[in-house]
Amino acid sequence: MDRGYFFTENIAAEMIFGVANHDVEAVDTAAGDIDLGDVWLPPPHTLTLQYHFMPTAQFRPYVDAGINYTIFFGEDKGDADEIQYDDGFGYALQAGFDWGLDEKWGINVDVKKIWLETDVEVDNAVETEVALDPWFIGVGVAYKF
């Protein structure tokens, strides 16, 4: 789910809500490749600035860019006995469109990409950096207040 606020007809800010599960593997560490299981991460700490090309048309495409702060939780440790993810910042890009059904209601479709690297400590011995870089695809209902 996304929540947006328009500053002008063309420019808006958006906050992204939701959670996703990601498989993680540390590659080429001193201990070799390590299956780190999976981890949950929320993108609600993703704030983007959007540009809407045709804000009054029925088909309203937009692009946006922003920053992300990820907090990891619900780790499944995989091959490790202990695992600790460092929360951290990343970058986000998004492209999408709204299809207006009437003055208030519409359909929204978008694709988001977040570039996220984090440091992981495995079994209190191995420290490595992993890149998650998730994609998010959204389809939803849009309503203008």
**Closest residue by Cα to residue 70 from 112, 143, 35, 20:** 20
Instruction: Kindly report the backbone phi and psi dihedral angles of residue 30, in degrees, each rounded to the nearest multiple of 5, phi listed first.
Output: -60, -30
pLDDT digits (tens, 9 = 90+) for 69-121: 888 888 888 888 888 889 989 999 999 999 999 989 999 999 999 898 888 88
* CATH dotted code for 2-143: 2.40.160.20
Segment 35-54, tens digit of pLDDT: 888 998 875 588 999 999 99
Q: Tokens at residue 90, please?
A: 């990343």
Output the CA torsion sign for 84, 116, 46, 104: negative
47 alpha-carbon distance from chain centroid = 10
Beta-ladder partners of 57: none
Q: Which two tokens stand for residue 132?
A: 């998650």
Closest CA to 44 of 20, 75, 12: 20
25, 36 in Cβ contact below 8 A?
A: yes
> Domain residues of the chain, as ranges?
2-143
pLDDT band for position 123 (cuts 50, 70, 90): confident
User: What is the end-to-end Cα distance of the chain in Å, rounded?
Assistant: 16
